Amino acid sequence: MGRELREVVYVDGVRTAFGKAGPKGMFWRTRADDMGVKVVRELLRRNPQIEPERIGDVVMAATAQVGDQGLTLGRDVGLLAGIPNTVPGFAVDRMCAGALTAVTAAAGEIAMGAADVAVAGGVEHMGHHPMGEDVDFNPRFVAERLVDTSAVTMGATAENLHDRFPEITKERADAFAVASQHKAAAAWQNGAMKETVVPMAVFSDEGWRVADRDEFLRPDTTLEGLAGLRTPFRVAGRVTAGNSAGLTDGATACFLASAEAAQELGVMARMRLVGYAFAGVEPELMGIGPIPATQRVLERAGIGIDDVDLLELNEPFAVQVLTWCDALGVDAGDPRLNPYGGAIAFGHPLAATGVRLMAQLVYGFRERGGRYGLTALCIGMGMGCAVLWENMQ
């Protein structure tokens, strides 16, 4: 028996400030799940029309599903945030695409009528849980040459991109990084970030403080300053701390709803989910993953890249963005691309990043207009994700 799928819309999204991972970072003494609780509670506060018992599911992502971001994170965060125990929750993992996978999973529930409203987001405390810690990689990966050994070190995969695409020089990567920092600084100055960043009280060695600003912002970044940075992944390499996203702690969450439920509840449907695509590529070249994912979602939607008015692409490494730009025919300085800066300036808390991209896309639609917007990123172990949205503001 056939059935018609329901339209899924984005209502609202928020994030914590993004902090440096490790003992010197502002979230060092803060639990990962409490960061998730903070953003979910802020969603509830900002959207009082959505009664907590109306939520159909809470989907939260984490790459390292251990310790304070273990258990079934969606259920854990939902209960701690005060959502009734009648509302279920679950956790997902697709590394850097964790939050976007949480969104597409929740969207599937809404489209099928299993939920009218859902919370989706992600948490990553890379200070408490460094990438790859407690992971037991199967020796067959290397012994049977299923993947290159560099695939498990993200910085090494970025160096591999420079090898594969020698036209993407360190100078080009550094120039992109400088632009990202400058755009992010302007976005903070003009209030773009303050709309979606939730201040959070955190405890530190100096006592209580408010975490309300990203710690990787470097508005005074220059090409000259980046030129002399060391290349930790390879002698005389091209990937540096300056043209990469730092190790980061942070959390994000958003409200999704069916178009009918949004209208009934009186909340604004800011974006409509048009379509999404995931793709796999060589694990050691994981940075090219968004290329086939973007091509697929555009083909399915029947549009081209020139029809997309805003592009929010994650920036784990500048070289990764530049490979996507070259493949899709988008100039790195195109005003559609990351107009408010990206992960090189904000940081990249793995499973949380996807909702940051969506929140910036919403702001961009309101400020700049346009019909279609894309959120896309690469994923560890050789994957990519692209989600296409339509502006409804």
Which residues, including other chains, have CB under 8 Å from residue 337's CB and lie 6 or more apart? 311, 313, 321, 325, 330, 331
- Beta strands 89-92 and 55-61 are parallel
- Whether the CB-CB separation of 338 and 331 falls below 8 Å is answered with no
Task: Output the DSSP codes for 132-168.
Answer: TTT----THHHHTTSS-GGGG-HHHHHHHHHHH-TTS
Catalytic residue (choose from 254, 325, 378, 385): 378
Cα distances (angstroms) measured from residue 371 to each of 58, 81, 361, 374, 388: 29, 34, 11, 11, 11
- Beta strands 55-61 and 8-16 are unpaired
**H or E stretch at 208:** strand 207-211
Give yes or no: 254 in active site: no
Catalytic residue (choose from 128, 129, 348, 385): 348
Task: List the beta bridge partners of residue 278.
Answer: 385
Give yes or no: 378 in active site: yes
- Whether the CB-CB separation of 313 and 290 falls below 8 Å is answered with yes
Catalytic residue (choose from 96, 254, 325, 385): 96
Give yes or no: 182 in active site: no
Local structure of 294: helix, strand or coil:
helix
Residues belonging to the active site: 96, 348, 378
